[in-house]
Amino acid sequence: MENSIELSIPIVPKAQKRARHRIVKTKDGRIFGTTYKDTGERTEEQKFMALLYEHKPDVLITGPIYLGVMAYLPIPKSKSKKWQLAALMGDIRPTSKPDLDNLIKFLKDCMTGIFWKDDAQIVEYLDGTGKYYSANPRWEITILY
């Protein structure tokens, strides 16, 4: 691993949502199914990708990639001050939705074509990859290649 990219994206981490499906009937009576992304998800992806483009490498990464993802989620306001402080100190970690797999899927789908050609190039996740709480929700991303 000769090169690395480290970036911080100041946006609340969102998870990849399930694909939507619908059945369409044409004017001539044919019926077919289509799959599409939810409008809200497309908007989230566009916001995230706009911030990613600021850090885009000159050429797509080739070869194996080691990816580190730290998703810092907002601390729930409904919790006690003591609980919020423990979350801020890292003693409490997020165990509710969004789940880590879907967070990483969202990130990989958005970064494909901007940072690397195919997310199959990711061979390992770096230590520390996970969900955390923070007063400043954001993505912290490390790419080693």
* Ordered per-residue pLDDT tens for the chain, 145 residues: 689 999 999 999 988 655 555 677 778 878 866 665 565 667 888 899 999 999 999 999 999 999 999 999 999 999 999 999 999 999 999 999 999 999 999 999 999 999 999 999 999 999 999 999 999 999 999 999 9
Strands 138-144 and 20-25, bridge-based pairing: unpaired
Contacts of 114 (CB under 8 A, 6+ apart): 49, 52, 53, 56
CB atoms within 10 A of CB 108: 19
What single letter denotes the amino acid at residue 115? Answer: F
Q: Can you list the domains of the chain with their CATH numbers?
A: 4-144 (3.30.1330.70)
The pTM is what?
0.81
- pLDDT of 25 reads 74
Which of 69, 66, 71, 72 is closest to 143 using CA atoms? 66
Say whether the peptide bond before residue 74 is cis (omega within 30 degrees of 0). Answer: no
